[in-house]
């Protein structure tokens, strides 16, 4: 049989063409392989490694805040927290069960679970401060709350100990970092690896010393597959707790000061302000105690105040607004309250009078009338009757307004030789009209008007400068405004002989084991106008008289107490406030022992009456604690123990 020639040349040719095409295709595969495995290989290494790990940050406990003796003011506490994994958000049944258990709405619960500030791998804390009953319920009903999805655990949360509560405003609070804060913090402290959801200091010392108090978060690097399923832990770096901050504050003194303010408010509210105006309102007060030798603040108490623990578990907007209704609750009055200093400002005027040569310690001023004509205005002494023939010391002791009105007026009248702003210059040398530079956020600068500033003001505010303004300014009235801290710092400057320290609250930074890693040294911010020894001692005599002399303005508060003749010098102030419904500010400042002062203590009580009637007794309570330790050391836990 003859085979039909099916095998044509054409077929052979076509098969050959196909083989050539196959060859080309394989050649292109080879070229592509070379490109990937030789040219792109180095870049792929990184990609493969990057794709292999997911890093989850473990928050570090914040550092503790201690008082100068190591007593714990802010500690970490283990707060029970209920956590849930993000994958569980799609389980409607689970979400509604959680919502019911935690008393939240289903939407709020789901939103809490789907908090994209957390890594998809990290459990999301959805409920802080869970009760024992809630935790028990979860543990007993694991079929409803699967182990892998819902966890009851604890979280380190800073909380203010009972001892620290009187220092709430000072310590400030922490909260979840805001979108505005985050980039700033990330840029400032890259080593802290700030991420959304972190707890950061947002007020007071917690904010000011964030850089020390915040720890460095730990890292767990998980090996993951393409679906981000965890295959194992590649490495785990434990968190580094934040450093402890030791304050210059004496917690007991702080507590006493705070209680004294509350007592002072109570007393003021029981006092008639005037037949028409009813009782004093006394809504707020502040006490500052400073060590004049170095600027350390040993107490800084303010009322009204918040308890930072309110912020501990997060605070809702409604709660915040409710709180904010109480005026001044979010203000640290000691650095943000600006008050007319009243007669306490006579420190500046006395210094200016002596320094300018307008008066000498022995100069006798005729204050028998109790009234002085300055220009075409009459200025009355506060009590309306004269103090008689008085020298500088007596003028301070009895707080003669006319004596100091006179100095203010003469300084203005003699401005050709003293300059326009002689009084202001002296005030600035004591630190007024500028922030003190204390280590707290948002300090107010106070206000002592200058001629140039007034000239820039519109006419309605009082027209060009004239003698009367100087006379009023000289007794701490008119537009003078100071913060309680500024006044304490000014008297500290006087008390230590003229060195103005920058007041501060931080003593040192310590590791958790107590080793000091940074000690804050006193910083000299400036010097007051120099006084001769005789001038200074005359003024001290005047201040001592306020407290210890029978005709001193605060003698009634101290004379028949054990604090009389204890070397305490002081000055009262009663500042008129020009506003509707405002009452006088009660001011008292003091230093002692006068021979070598160790404490300057001042007090401002808003809408509370005479300096002697409210502020002076408040300050006296603090002195009583210093000199007699009447208060037993309160129960406290040491820095090493955890306060729960």
Partner 1 sequence: MTMLTDVRPAPGAHVRRRGPSAWRHLDFVLIGAVLLVSAFGVVMVWSTTRVPLETAGRSGLYVAKKQAEYVVLGAGVMLAVAAVDYRRYRDWAWLLYAGTVLALVAVFGVGHRVSGSQAWFKIGPYQFEPAELAKMALAVCLAAYAAHFRGRLPARAAGVILALTVVPFVLVYKQPALGSALVLLAIAAVVIVVGGARGRLLAVLAAAAVVTVVAVVELGVLKGYQRLRIISFLRTPNNVSARLLQTPAGASIFNLVRSKDAIAHGGLLGQGIGHGSATNLSQVPAQSTDFIFSAVGEQVGLVGCAALLAVFLVVIWRTWQAAVLSRDAFGRLVCAGVLGYFVFEIFENIGMTMGLMPVAGIPLPWMSYGGSALLIEFACVGLVLNVRMRRFS
Q: Which residues bind partner 1 (CB under 8 A)?
A: 3-4, 6-8, 10-12, 14-15, 18-19, 22, 25-26, 28-30, 32-34, 36-38, 40-41, 43-45, 47-49, 51-52, 223-228, 231
The CA distance from 94 to 439, in Å, is 48
- The CA-based angle 322-323-327, given to 5 degrees, is 110
Shortest Cβ 502–partner 1 spacing (Å): 50
Please, which residues have CB within 8 angstroms of residue 502's CB and are 6 or more apart in sequence?
Answer: 295, 436, 437, 438, 522, 523, 524, 525
**Cis, peptide link before residue 629, omega less than 30° from 0:** no
Q: Smaller CB distance to partner 1: residue 232 or 581?
A: 232
First to last CA, the chain: 107
Which of residues 21 and 369 has its CB atom nearest to partner 1 in the complex? Answer: 21
Of the candidates 504, 387, 357, 489, the residue with the CA atom closest to the CA atom of residue 434:
489
Report yes or no: 550 and 544 within 8 Å, Cβ to Cβ.
Answer: no
3-state secondary structure of 369: coil
Do 191 and 214 meet the contact criterion of CB atoms below 8 Å apart?
A: no
Q: Which is nearer to partner 1, 39 or 579 (CB)?
A: 39
Closer to partner 1 by CB, 25 or 324: give it: 25
CB of 22 to partner 1, least distance (A): 5
What distance in Å separates the CA atoms of residue 122 and residue 285, rounded to the nearest whole number? 46
**Could you give the CA distance from residue 111 to residue 106 in angstroms, rounded to a whole number?**
9
Tokens describing residue 534: 């005789």
Q: Which is nearer to partner 1, 51 or 516 (CB)?
A: 51
Q: How far is the CB of 30 from partner 1 (least distance, A)?
A: 6
Q: How far apart are CA 78 and CA 153, in angstroms?
A: 9
Q: How far is the CB of 90 from partner 1 (least distance, A)?
A: 12
Q: Which two tokens stand for residue 187?
A: 């840029």
Tokens 């106070």 appear where? 446
Task: State how far the Cα of 103 lies from the Cα of 316, in Å rounded to an integer.
Answer: 15
How far, in Å, CA of 283 to CA of 89, rounded? 48
Comparison of 10 and 376: residue with beta carbon closer to partner 1? 10
CB of 29 to partner 1, least distance (A): 5
**Residue 228 or 326 with smaller CB distance to partner 1:** 228
Residue 118 CB, shortest distance to partner 1, in Å, is 15
Q: How many CB atoms lie within 10 A of CB 579?
A: 6
Residue closer to partner 1 by CB (options 47, 383) is 47
How far apart are the C-alpha atoms of 569 and 541, rounded to whole Å? 8
Q: Which two tokens stand for residue 626?
A: 């210093």
Least distance (Å) between residue 234 CB and partner 1: 10
How many whole angstroms separate alpha carbon 632 and alpha carbon 605? 26
Burial class (CB in 10 A: 0-12, 13-18, 19+), 231: exposed
Q: Using the minimum distance from each CB to partner 1, give the nearer residue, 15 or 511.
A: 15
- The dihedral built from the CA positions of residue 251, 253, 258 and 259, taken in this order, carries a sign that is positive
Least distance between partner 1 and beta carbon 230 (Å): 10
CA–chain centroid gap for 112, Å, is 30
Between 29 and 136, name the residue whose CB sits nearer to partner 1.
29
* Collapsed DSSP state (helix, strand, coil) of residue 606: coil
Name the helix (H) or strand (E) containing 417.
Answer: helix 415-418
| CB closer to partner 1, 116 vs 551 | 116
Give the Cα-Cα-Cα angle 197, 198, 203 (nearest 5 degrees): 115
Closest to partner 1 by CB, 51 vs 385, is 51
Helical (H) or strand (E) element with 351: helix 346-356
Strand duo 296-303 + 285-291: pairing? antiparallel
Minimum CB–partner distance for residue 46 and partner 1 (Å): 9
CB 4 to partner 1: min, Å: 7
Distance of closest approach, residue 193 Cβ to partner 1, in angstroms:
20
CA 453 from chain center: how many Å? Answer: 30
- Closer Cβ to partner 1, 8 or 376, answer by number: 8
Least Å from the CB of residue 436 to partner 1: 51
Rounded least distance, CB 147 to partner 1, Å: 18
């Amino acid at each position: 049989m003859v085979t039909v020639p099916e095998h044509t040349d054409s077929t052979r040719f076509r098969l050959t063409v196909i083989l050539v095409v196959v060859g080309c295709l394989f050649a292109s595969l080879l070229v592509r392989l070379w490109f990937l495995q030789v040219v792109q290989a180095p870049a792929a290494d990184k990609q493969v490694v990057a794709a292999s790990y997911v890093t989850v940050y473990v928050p570090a406990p914040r550092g503790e805040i201690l008082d100068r003796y190591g007593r714990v003011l802010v500690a970490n506490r283990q707060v029970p927290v209920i956590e849930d994994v993000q994958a569980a958000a799609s389980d409607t049944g689970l979400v509604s069960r959680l919502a019911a258990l935690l008393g939240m709405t289903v939407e709020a619960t789901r939103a809490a679970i789907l908090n994209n500030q957390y890594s998809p791998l990290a459990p999301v804390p959805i409920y802080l401060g869970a009760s024992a009953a809630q935790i028990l319920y979860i543990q007993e009903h694991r079929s409803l709350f699967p182990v892998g999805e819902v966890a009851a655990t604890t979280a380190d949360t800073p909380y203010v100990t009972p001892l620290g509560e009187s220092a709430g405003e000072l310590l400030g609070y922490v909260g979840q970092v805001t979108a505005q804060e985050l980039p700033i913090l990330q840029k400032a402290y890259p080593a802290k690896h700030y991420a959304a959801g972190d707890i950061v200091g947002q007020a007071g010392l917690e904010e000011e010393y964030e850089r020390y108090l915040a720890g460095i978060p730990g890292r767990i690097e998980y090996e993951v597959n393409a679906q981000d399923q965890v295959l194992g832990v590649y490495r785990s770096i434990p968190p580094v707790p934040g450093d402890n901050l030791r304050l210059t504050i004496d917690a007991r003194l702080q507590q006493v000061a705070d209680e004294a303010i509350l007592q002072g408010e109570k007393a003021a509210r029981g006092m008639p302000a005037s037949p028409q105006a009813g009782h004093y309102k006394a809504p707020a007060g502040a006490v500052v105690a400073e060590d004049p030798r170095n600027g350390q603040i040993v107490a800084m108490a303010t009322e009204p105040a918040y308890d930072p623990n309110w912020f501990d578990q997060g605070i809702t907007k409604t709660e915040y607004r409710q709180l904010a209704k109480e005026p001044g609750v979010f203000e640290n009055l000691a650095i943000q309250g600006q008050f007319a200093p009243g007669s306490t400002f006579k420190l500046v005027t006395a210094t200016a009078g002596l320094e300018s040569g307008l008066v000498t310690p022995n100069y006798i001023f005729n204050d028998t009338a109790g009234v002085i004509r300055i220009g075409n205005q009459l200025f009355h002494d506060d009590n309306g009757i004269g103090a008689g023939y008085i020298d500088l010391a007596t003028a301070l002791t009895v707080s003669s307004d006319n004596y100091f009105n006179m100095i203010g007026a003469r300084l203005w009248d003699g401005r050709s030789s003293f300059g326009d702003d002689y009084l202001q210059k002296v005030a600035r040398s004591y630190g007024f009209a500028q922030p003190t530079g204390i280590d707290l956020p948002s300090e107010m600068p106070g206000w002592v008007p200058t001629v140039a500033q007034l000239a820039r003001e519109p006419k309605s505010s009082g027209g060009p400068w004239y003698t009367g303004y100087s006379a009023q300014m000289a007794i701490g009235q008119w537009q003078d405004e100071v913060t309680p801290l500024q006044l304490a710092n000014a008297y500290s400057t006087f008390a230590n002989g003229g060195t103005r320290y920058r007041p501060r609250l931080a003593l040192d930074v310590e590791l958790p084991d107590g080793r000091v890693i940074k000690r804050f040294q006193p910083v000299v911010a400036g010097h007051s106008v120099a006084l001769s020894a005789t001038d200074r001692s005359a003024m001290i005599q005047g201040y001592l008289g306020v407290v210890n002399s029978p005709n001193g303005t605060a003698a009634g508060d101290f004379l028949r107490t054990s604090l009389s003749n204890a070397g305490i010098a002081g000055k009262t102030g009663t500042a008129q406030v020009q506003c509707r419904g405002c009452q006088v500010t009660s001011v008292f400042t003091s230093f002692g022992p006068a021979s070598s002062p160790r404490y300057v203590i001042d007090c401002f009580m808003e809408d509370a009456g005479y300096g002697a009637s409210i502020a002076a007794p408040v300050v006296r309570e603090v002195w009583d604690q210093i000199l007699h330790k009447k208060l037993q050391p309160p129960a406290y836990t040491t820095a090493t123990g955890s306060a729960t």
